[in-house]
Amino acid sequence: MSFPHLHVASAYSTHYGVTLPEALAEQAAADGATFLAVTDRDGLYGAVKHVRACVAAGISPGLGADLEVHDDDTLAPLGRVVVLAHGGSAGQGNTGQGNAGQRNAGQSSGGRGYAALCRAVSSAHETTARLPGHPPSIPRRRLAQLAGLDSLTVLLGPASDVGHAVERRDNPRARANLVEWQRIMPPHSLALEVVCHLTEPGMPGSVAPATRMLALAEYARLPAVLSNAVRYGTADEAVTADLADAARNLTPLAQLAGPQLAGPQGAGPQHSQTEAGPLQVNGQAWLKPAAAMRQVARMVVDAGQHSDGALARLLRDTHDLADRCALDPIGDIGLGRPRMPEASVIGVTRDPLAELWARARHGIDERYADAGRHGLTAAHDRLAHEMATVESLGFAGYFLTVAAVADIVRGMGIRIQARGSGVGSVLNYALHTSSVEPIGNGLLWERFLSPERQTLPDIDLDVESARRHDIYRKVFETFGASRVSLMSMTNAYRGRGAVRDAGLALGMPDTQVAAIAKQMWRFNARDFRAALAEKPELEELATEVRESAQLDLLVDLTARLDRLPRHISVHPCGVILSDASLLDRTPVQASGMGLPMSQFDKHDMDPMGLIKLDILGVRMQSAMAHAVEEHHRLTGEHIDLDRVPLDDQATFELIRSTRTLGIFQIESPGQMELVGKLQPEVFNDLTVEISLFRPGPMQNNMPLRYLEAGHGEVAPDYIHPRFEPILRETNGVVIFHEQVMRLFDELTGCGLGHADVLRRHLGRPEQLSVIEAYVREHALGRGFDAGTIGRVWTVLAGFGSFGFAKAHGAAFALPTYQSAWLKTHHPAAFLAGLLTHDPGMWPKDLLVAEARVLGVPVLGLDVQRSALDYRVESVGDGQGIRMPLPELSGSSDAERARIVRHQPFTSLQDFRDRVHPRRRTFEALARVGALDSFIDHDRTRRHELLAHIQSLRGTAITIADDQLAFEVPLPVLDYEGPRFDAVTSLQLRGRTQSDLELLDTGLAVSGHRMRKYYPLFAELGVTPASQLATLPGGTDVLLAGVRRATNTPPMRDGRRVVFVSLDDGTGPVANVVFFHDAQERIGGGVFQTELMLVRGRTRRSGARGVSVTGEGMWDLVTVARDRARAQAKAARADGAAGVNTAAAAAAAARPLRRAAGSGTTEFDLWSTQSA
């Protein structure tokens, strides 16, 4: 005989349950159970995983939630109860698939219990939203309302108000509380829950209160059911539950357990065993097998005075309730049945399919208007092909929905770009969901959707990061909160968090735990012990662990916590769209940004038939939008980036020059080098470039093979003439998923849909032999010889899973091209966008340097002109970028808003009167030169200005925005006369404008930091970064600059290579590579020196690619100081003996120049730029 567990917390009851649903279901099934419920605390967090695990294990799932309840009127807490969903008649109704407009979950009996449960959980969380600080709790009358129509059973157990009274032996109160429940709840919706953890007499969870609960049920003529209030699968996991208790209470175990072993009279826990009290009383809350549960039942019945047959009745009632609560995954929960928003919501009045056809045909005609008759026909044919799949899968509503969202975003004037395999669809292109043309780019529909594909389609929309939340709100508004929810994500324990919480439980000192946590990386916490044995860098810790029993325990406990769910938070981009039944299928709670968030994560979406749209904020989109806006503000012209022709030669020339800093996707040192090699000429080259720059292709030397064939060094190897059309675009190298699919299709005739299934199975080693047999069998029949088949199979099998969908590459290539186009034609606006939204990998200093090189000066802070973001200004004939007010460190939002509101200012007094800056802000503005307009931009008078501001005295007053300011007379000073020359501010003396800017804004815009070293560079013969590309390979050079990036990419031979990007202010960064021997010679300086002088040799890669192999390195600051001393000494000697100064200086430079060699030409760049 089996036992059905009705009250089980999974690991998704964070810091409470510790066993994953899959393990629980397997364990229950192994014990012969036919039913298992999961009733997580405050939610259905583990519900979908549980249902799927039960399906896999062949048992019936039950679902419930362990919820707190309160009185509607007084808000008085009524303890915790278990709310269980009843099953309906399985499989009834609900056969329509994807039929928008159909709403039946709440009406037929199938799913009613589950819907009520979802609503109950959401309701509990509404309380938290309404009463901040209040834990999730459902009002009792709301629970009663939801329990109607035989939807729910509420279990009143030890943690309920009834159970509390029973625990206290307060029989009258227990009965009165129960009567109140019976009065409010609908008939047949209540049962009493008997829990006995066999604790010592007098403790919560002992046999006495359990038997009294049973007696109360008999008295009240209510069913009593037995549960074990389970928190873990097996008895040995009780240790992990102890850790969870410590983590939840943020208290070490020793403190939670009290001074001594808590006996009946001891200072035991005050809470009931099933309540989230400080520490579980013992370790019996495991998923006990049927025999052990019956044993408990016998002890409970035997401990009290019960009528005959009490034992059998208790077990029978438990089974009966389990039968009522057995849910049908399809009929009750709707597993696997997608639901789109109703057509009417997106403004569709006719059949969605007909509507989709009409819109798509129209879109094709418009999009392919210039494609010629042939192109247009091809597009319509492709559309018909795609629509056939859409129709058979019933996804018309989905495509209309996504297109509607894209329309909403565009309607808000926000940039949008589709990404992912959906870009391969001509339908998406026609609907303007995507802006990449799929046919010409060789993208395949089947990579996105086919009848063979079992998962719901996935279209990702990249939008401006700065507007993402606005979009969410608008989507909620448009579709209605009953159809939209944000998605959540489960954050699990990783190494550091695990070791911290394990250390906390053991009461170890914070500093000790932190020191260990710092070393927890590059391995999983569950492998902590193995890592200690293997990793040389952990040797010291391993020794400590051997010597300390406590540390040894810590290692085990850390491994136990690894991967356990820790908390949920809102997913960064997932938005769930559904019909009006959404809230019957997922519970929601408030997210950090206030909008409702589903308790389900991304793994739950597909099984639950929930359509998830990834609306991802992309900073580059914001940066480009800013650029377009700035251009419009200045010129009145509107740039439509999505209509910029994709064949602009100037744009490609810029990319080929490797001056790609700031351009989407191709601005890293590695990408600069690859772009230099590949020399892209057309849009497709960008797609290839982006796809090649990935770990798999890079480590397999694919760029080289692609290049060699491209340059005609070797003939492209197409293996067989029939593969040439597939592999021509990549010179015979298989790069894209789409190519693999086509190869499969050509070899076997399996169709592209099935080819995608085969492709995905390539990543599973155990599938390879099956696929190979299939390919060989069919390819022979299709006229391929065994040799060809063998060769192509080697390529396919080696391809494994590391390829890239061309659709992704093409979707990335579009913003790459667009940003390059902006940089080419509107550098000032583009850089203003980059500086404002900071989308890339480089620091702002380098962007400023790049702007300067492009002839776009970045202008300093000025209270008359600076705005809240980087703005383009006309400067002479050209354009400059004005630094914005938020760059001033320490100023407040309110101050900045007042400055912008009141610009311009007639005088310093006018500024003070209308802005009322705080003293700190006022002084900083003066120091950095933002007030120079009040002293006729005469920098020398800044001393006087600052001194004056510092001398101001007055009473602090409160002004608008709770701002302190000084109410003092501020005469308009007469800044003239000799007395002002006498004033020197110590804050200004000896500091260059760059120094001051770095001090108050962290960003030097007036000049490049390296500029003061230019005379030195000229003297030493340092090659400017901008001239590097003009030198042949193998030239000895000296480089100098400030470090902007350090990369240590993994290399094939496992030896570390360090890439340092140096900025000398002349152009893009110079990339220096330090190989192993150089690293050993130079030591820590490779990572630590900020301003450096490097000796090395140029290394050419491809037509425009150049980098420098670093051989020696010096600290530039030291070199400059030593030379200054040498020169001073030489000058003294000169004065004494009349020797030529220049000769002495040259002599001092000799040790360095020796290496520079004959290849170094003299560059006059230094002298012109240092002027």
Partner 1 sequence: MPQIIDTTVQVELSADGDPRAFVWDRFEHVVIGQPQAVFTRTRWWENNGTPTRIDTELWRVDAARGGEDQHRYDLRHDADGTWVLALDWG
| Candidate residues 57, 81, 147, 207; the one interacting with partner 1 per rule CB under 8 A | 207
Candidate segments 125-133, 278-286, 347-355, 1023-1031, binder of partner 1 by CB under 8 A: 278-286
250 binds partner 1 (CB under 8 A): no
Of 26-34, 192-200, 428-436, 1159-1167: span binding partner 1 (CB under 8 A): 192-200
Residue whose CB is less far from partner 1, 560 or 1104: 560
Question: Restricting to residues 496-515, which ones interact with partner 1 according to CB under 8 A?
Answer: 505-506
CA–CA gap between residue 153 and residue 164 (Å, rounded): 20
111: buried, middle or exposed (CB in 10 Å: 19+, 13-18, 0-12)? buried
Please tell me whether residue 527 binds partner 1 under the rule CB under 8 A. Answer: no
Nearer of residues 257 and 853 to partner 1, judged by Cβ? 257
Report the residue number, 257 or 1022, with the smaller CB distance to partner 1: 257
Q: Is 295 in the site for partner 1 (CB under 8 A)?
A: yes
Asked if 745 is part of the footprint of partner 1 (rule: CB under 8 A), the reply reads: no
Q: Measured from the CB of residue 230, what is the shortest distance to partner 1 in angstroms? A: 15
Q: Where are the beta strands (DSSP E) in 936-1080?
A: 955-959, 963-967, 1036-1047, 1058-1063, 1070-1074
Q: Give DSSP secondary structure letters for 11-26.
A: TTSTTT--S-HHHHHH
Q: Which two tokens stand for residue 252?
A: 């070490």
The first and second tokens of residue 781, run together, are 């029949």
Residue closer to partner 1, measured from CB, 292 or 1145 = 292
- Interface with partner 1 (CB under 8 A), residue total 38
Shortest Å, Cβ 316 to partner 1: 18
State the nearest-atom distance from the C-beta of 303 to partner 1, in Å. Answer: 7
Nearer to partner 1 (CB atom), residue 558 or residue 824: 558
Residue (210 or 625) nearer to partner 1, CB: 210
Q: How far is CA 189 from CA 435, 579, 1078, in A?
A: 55, 29, 77
Is 9 a binding residue for partner 1 by CB under 8 A? The answer is no
Of 283 and 1159, which CB lies nearer to partner 1 in the complex structure? 283
- Local structure of residue 232 (DSSP, 8 states): B
Span from 410-418, 547-555, 880-888, 948-956 in contact with partner 1 (CB under 8 A): 547-555
- Residue 469: both structure tokens together: 């939340």
Q: DSSP readout, 1073-1109?
A: EE-HHHHHHHTTHHHH-SEEEEEEEEEEETTTEEEEE
Q: How far is the CB of 291 from partner 1 (least distance, A)?
A: 6
Q: Does 950 bind partner 1 (CB under 8 A)?
A: no
Which one of 255-263, 362-370, 587-595, 1055-1063 is the stretch in contact with partner 1 (CB under 8 A)?
255-263
Q: Which is nearer to partner 1, 459 or 525 (CB)?
A: 525
Contact between residue 60 and residue 327 where contact means Cβ atoms under 8 Å apart: yes
Cα first-last separation, the chain? 94
State the minimum distance, in angstroms, from the CB of residue 244 to partner 1.
Answer: 12
Q: Which window, 33-41, 47-55, 275-283, 1091-1099, contacts partner 1 (CB under 8 A)?
A: 275-283
Q: Which stretch binds partner 1 (CB under 8 A): 194-202, 852-860, 879-887, 1141-1149?
A: 194-202
303 belongs to the binding site for partner 1 (CB under 8 A): yes
The verdict on 201 binding partner 1 (CB under 8 A) reads yes
The residue among 46, 38, 14 whose CA lies nearest residue 248 is 14
Whose Cβ is closer to partner 1: residue 259's or residue 969's? 259
> Are residues 550 and 516 in contact, defined by beta-carbon separation less than 8 angstroms?
no
Report the C-alpha gap between 54 and 62 in whole angstroms: 9
DSSP 937-957: T-GGGHHHHHHHHHH---EEE
With CB under 8 A as the contact rule, the residue among 103, 134, 294, 385 that binds partner 1 is 294
**Residue in 34, 171, 182, 282 binding partner 1, rule: CB under 8 A:** 282
DSSP class of 536: G
Question: Should residue 312 be labelled a site residue for partner 1 when binding is judged by CB under 8 A?
Answer: no
Contacts (Cβ under 8 Å, ≥6 apart) of 625? 414, 415, 464, 833
Find the angle CA(1143)-CA(1144)-CA(1148) to the nearest 5 degrees.
115
23 near partner 1 (CB under 8 A):
no
Distance in Å, CB of 282 to partner 1, minimum: 4
Residue 447 interacts with partner 1 (CB under 8 A)? no
**What DSSP letter does each residue of 301-350 carry, written as one string?**
HHTS---TTHHHHHHHHHHHHHHHHPPPTTTTT-TT---PPPGGGGT--S
Give the Cβ contact number of residue 967 at 10 Å: 11
- Listing DSSP states for 1109-1126 in one string gives EEEEEEEHHHHHHHHHHH
Query: What is the DSSP code (8-state) at residue 260?
Result: S
Q: Which helix (H) or strand (E) holds 193?
A: strand 190-195
Among 169, 298, 937, 1154, binds partner 1 (CB under 8 A): 298
Question: Is 556 among the residues that bind partner 1 (CB under 8 A)?
Answer: yes
- Minimum CB distance to partner 1, residue 301 (Å): 8
Could you say whether residue 299 binds partner 1 (CB under 8 A)? Answer: yes
Question: Judged by CB, which is closer to partner 1: 261, or 1137?
Answer: 261
CA proximity to 401, closest of 437, 423, 428: 428
Q: CB of residue 206 vs partner 1: minimum separation in angstroms? A: 8
Q: Does 1131 bind partner 1 (CB under 8 A)?
A: no
Stretch that binds partner 1, among 283-291, 692-700, 739-747, 1125-1133 (CB under 8 A): 283-291
Q: Could you give the 3-state DSSP secondary structure of residue 6?
A: coil
SS (H, E, C) 28-71: HHHCCCCEEEEEEECCCCCHHHHHHHHHHHCCEEEEEEEEEEEC
Segment interacting with partner 1, rule: CB under 8 A, options 92-100, 276-284, 602-610, 966-974: 276-284
For the CB of residue 222, give the shortest distance to partner 1 in the complex, in Å.
25
CB of 197 to partner 1, least distance (A): 7
Distance of CA 832 to the CA centre of its chain: 26
Q: Which amino acid is at 26?
A: E
Residue 568 · residue 599 · CB < 8 Å? yes
The beta-strand segments (E) located in 592-723 are: 596-598, 611-618
**Interface region with partner 1, contact rule CB under 8 A, candidates 195-203, 813-821, 992-1000, 1048-1056:** 195-203
DSSP 8-state symbol, 736? B
- Report if residue 284 touches partner 1, rule: CB under 8 A: yes
Residue 171 lies near partner 1 (rule: CB under 8 A): no
Is position 198 an interface residue for partner 1 (rule: CB under 8 A)?
A: yes
Displacement of CA 767 from its chain's centroid (Å):
32
- Each residue 229-248 as x (binds partner 1 by CB under 8 A) or -, in order, gives ------xx-xx--x------
Can residue 199 be called a binding residue for partner 1 (CB under 8 A)?
Answer: yes
Within 111-130, the residues that bind partner 1 by CB under 8 A are: none
Q: What is the DSSP letter of 935?
A: G
Q: Which stretch binds partner 1 (CB under 8 A): 193-201, 493-501, 761-769, 1003-1011?
A: 193-201
Q: How far is the CB of 553 from partner 1 (least distance, A)?
A: 6
Q: How far apart are CA 942 and CA 981, in angstroms?
A: 11
Give whichever of 9 and 325 is closer to partner 1, judged by the CB atom: 9
In single-letter form, the type of residue at position 181 comes to W
**Which stretches of the chain bind partner 1, using CB under 8 A?**
197-201, 206-207, 235-236, 238-239, 242, 253-254, 257, 261-262, 280-284, 291-292, 294-295, 298-299, 302-303, 505-506, 549, 552-553, 556-557, 560
